[in-house]
């Protein structure tokens, strides 16, 4: 067994690749890609409202909803109005 040691924590690196336990798995866990999270329609509406408010009129409500991943059947008129109303309530802080 080869030991990679630092001042605080020695991490053993095993010569036998069949042993899958212990701190030698730490680098593999840290390099794993993040798990995909399914975003609900309500969260997509909130994100679209934030994008619409931040754009300060440069993009339309439908474009903001498309960018957030709302499909065509999900972009109904009532949902567009809801996103627009929520965007009006959001205060945008400028970085000036």
Q: Which residue has the higher pLDDT, 15 or 62?
A: 62
Task: For the chain, report the end-to-end CA distance as a whole number of angstroms.
Answer: 57
Q: Per the domain annotation, does 56 fall within a domain?
A: yes
Q: How confident is the model at residue 1 (pLDDT cuts 50, 70, 90)?
A: very low
14, 48 contact by CB (below 8 A): no
Q: Per the domain annotation, does 34 fall within a domain?
A: no
Q: Does the pLDDT at position 26 exceed 80?
A: no
Range of the domain at 66: 41-89
Give pTM, 2 decimals: 0.60
Q: Per the domain annotation, does 50 fall within a domain?
A: yes
Q: Number of structural domains, the chain?
A: 1
Q: Per the domain annotation, does 62 fall within a domain?
A: yes
Q: Per the domain annotation, does 66 fall within a domain?
A: yes
Mean pLDDT computed over every residue of the chain: 77
Q: Does the pLDDT at position 39 exceed 70?
A: yes
Selection from 2, 23, 21, 5 nearest residue 13 by Cα: 2
Q: Per the domain annotation, does 82 fall within a domain?
A: yes
DSSP 4-47: EE-SS-EEEE-S-TT---SGGGHHHHHTSPPPP-PPPHHHHHHH
* pLDDT recorded at residue 81: 94
Q: Per the domain annotation, does 13 fall within a domain?
A: no
- Per the document, the length of the chain is 96
What average pLDDT score do residues 34-59 get?
89
Q: Per the domain annotation, does 26 fall within a domain?
A: no
């Amino acid at each position: 067994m080869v030991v990679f040691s630092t001042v605080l924590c020695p991490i053993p690196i095993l010569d036998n690749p069949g042993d899958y336990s212990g701190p030698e798995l730490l680098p593999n866990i840290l390099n794993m890609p993040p798990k995909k999270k399914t975003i609900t329609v309500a969260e997509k509406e909130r994100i679209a409202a934030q994008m619409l408010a931040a754009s300060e009129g440069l993009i339309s409500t439908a474009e903001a909803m498309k960018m957030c991943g709302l499909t065509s059947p999900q972009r109904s008129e009532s949902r567009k109005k809801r996103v627009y109303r929520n965007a009006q309530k959001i205060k945008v802080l400028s970085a000036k």
